[in-house]
Structure 1
Amino acid sequence: MIKKLVVLTLLIFVACQTTKIKNETYKIATSSPELGSIGQSQIKNGVENNFAVRTLPKLENNIRVSIDIVPYNKQLNKVYASKAKYNQNQAKVTYVDSLPNKPELVTIKILDVNGLVNELNAQHNSDVLRLLQNTEKTQIITAVAVTFSLDELTKIRQADAYYLTNSLDKKYLITLYKSGKKTDTIDISTQIIIAYQSSKFCWAQSSKTKWYIADIVSDNTNCKGNTKSIVPRKEEDKSLFDM
């Protein structure tokens, strides 16, 4: 009986730490991790409640993302209101369930996973790759739910393609395109991240016995084929010795 009660309590805690957006599960955290940031989930009492960012990889090529505009519902409004406890400067959102016109949020998700994998394996991210190989349970933020101003929502609606880009000052931006032409950029680092999805890395070994990132998958998905969720320590040490 006690065991069942403990399991039920944990399930309630987990449910309070997640929300559904367009039938996909997003994690709610007190922090606001940027899309593409790398770090580790912090666990307290068996429940994930924060994401500690360790680094931001350099992007020399644009990474295609998908964007959806989603109207608020009671649950999302509750989540947004709870975020205000940790950010006094958070803009107020007026939500009335009975009114047809509701506030909107935006989900931004990495679409070009292969392009992101190539960036992480590139020489300009060798320090990031080293960190990932030597740090366990490291994840990357692959989707965020974020609030934007009405002006920014209009710009998003007018565009037909979206990319995660790196500016000269190392900021991450969402670059908007229309009919193949750049129309605008949006700085997402200044926005309120309501919720996020994180993914883990799957590793494979090259013919030169070097480990590289082969794939990025949802954190609750197993790595497929011959790929591994971590770089085996013994194999790694042996490879370094052979070099």
Structure 2
Amino acid sequence: MKQTIVFICILFILSSCSSIKSIAVNDGALPFLGTVGKQETNLLKSKFVPVGSPTIIEPIQVMAQTIPFDKSSFKAYETTKELTGSKSTVTYIDSLPNKPKYTVFSLHNKVGLKEVINQEQNQELKNYLVADSDYKIVSTISVLLTSDLAAEISSADGLFLSTDSNGLLQLEILNDNQKRKITITQDELFDYTVMGVCWSANKYGKPMIETFLEDGKCPKGTEKNASRLNELQSSLKL
């Protein structure tokens, strides 16, 4: 009987997600920073299928790192170029000391991200994360930038993830108290990582994001699967 009730609850949550605006992504395209979705794998390939992105009222701080290519990152770059049918613009020779470089953007202010997704305007998006722990959030993206833009970013006063007037995610660079949008094309994206969610219950028993899971286990008192929060609360009472 309990399993039936849980199943009905999950169906209800998923049905409430149906009105959220989905993101159209071409086959082989990579997701943007902050996107929520699920990794789907078959015999031939694996791809990230997005379901939406948070509405960000207060921009979230992002960190940028410029990193030399190594064998692993260059292989990821070449694989993406093959899948998208685009031409490689990087020459990598492992024996040479001076390696070409790429930029990794990562979500630095995870407390801010947690607060954003827990807000009412992102309830429909959060419902996906509640219903299925396989849904993840894109936490880093690897990008091959022009040398001029990479230099500008490295000397910037700040870098932020925000939502534009169309509700789409964007990166903004801050210099001399002036913000401007950074345009990143699919040709520049070549890799990404994702993170899961660790849940706790608020005073009303509703699931809330407590922190994010990038590796290992969720902290004590939280759950990777929101459906287990009732079991956790019962054990704590004992």
TM-score after normalising by structure 1: 0.74
Identity of aligned residues (%): 22
Q: Residue 103 of structure 1 corresponds to which residue in structure 2?
A: 100
Q: Residue 6 of structure 1 corresponds to which residue in structure 2?
A: none
Whether 1:159 aligns to 2:133 is no
Is the Cα–Cα contact under 8 Å of residues 105 and 141 in structure 2 kept in the other structure?
yes
Amino acid at match of 1:129: K
| 1:13-162 → structure 2 map (5 Å cutoff) | 31-44=29-42, 49-97=46-94, 101-162=98-159
Is the Cα–Cα contact under 8 Å of residues 29 and 84 in structure 2 kept in the other structure?
no
Structure 1 alignment gaps of length 5 or more: 1-29, 237-243
Measure the CA separation in 2 of the matches of 1:35 and 1:198.
9
Number of aligned residues: 205
TM-fit CA distance, 1:183: 4.6
Is the Cα–Cα contact under 8 Å of residues 38 and 138 in structure 1 kept in the other structure?
yes
TM-fit CA distance, 1:122: 0.5
Whether 1:186 aligns to 2:193 is no
Moved over 6 A (4+): none
Q: CA RMSD in A?
A: 2.6
Whether 1:195 aligns to 2:212 is no
Task: Provide closer, same or farther for how the CA distance between residues 73 and 223 of structure 1 changes in structure 2, counting only shifts above 3 A.
Answer: closer
Measure the CA separation in 2 of the matches of 1:168 and 1:94.
38
Q: Residue 10 of structure 1 corresponds to which residue in structure 2?
A: none
Task: Provide closer, same or farther for how the CA distance between residues 89 and 48 of structure 1 changes in structure 2, counting only shifts above 3 A.
Answer: closer
Task: Provide closer, same or farther for how the CA distance between residues 48 and 227 of structure 1 changes in structure 2, counting only shifts above 3 A.
Answer: farther
TM-fit CA distance, 1:98: 5.3
Measure the CA separation in 2 of the matches of 1:163 and 1:90.
30
TM-score after normalising by structure 2: 0.76
Tell me which of 227, 232, 241 is aligned to 2:227: 232
TM-fit CA distance, 1:226: 1.1
Is the Cα–Cα contact under 8 Å of residues 32 and 192 in structure 1 kept in the other structure?
no
TM-fit CA distance, 1:75: 3.5
Structure whose residues are more often strand by fraction? 1
Measure the CA separation in 2 of the matches of 1:56 and 1:136.
16
Measure the CA separation in 1 of the matches of 2:98 and 2:188.
21
Measure the CA separation in 2 of the matches of 1:44 and 1:168.
36
SS in 2 for 1:126: helix
SS in 2 for 1:86: helix
Task: Provide closer, same or farther for how the CA distance between residues 182 and 91 of structure 1 changes in structure 2, counting only shifts above 3 A.
Answer: farther
Structure 2 alignment gaps of length 5 or more: 1-27, 232-238
Task: Provide closer, same or farther for how the CA distance between residues 76 and 137 of structure 1 changes in structure 2, counting only shifts above 3 A.
Answer: closer
Is the Cα–Cα contact under 8 Å of residues 153 and 173 in structure 2 kept in the other structure?
yes
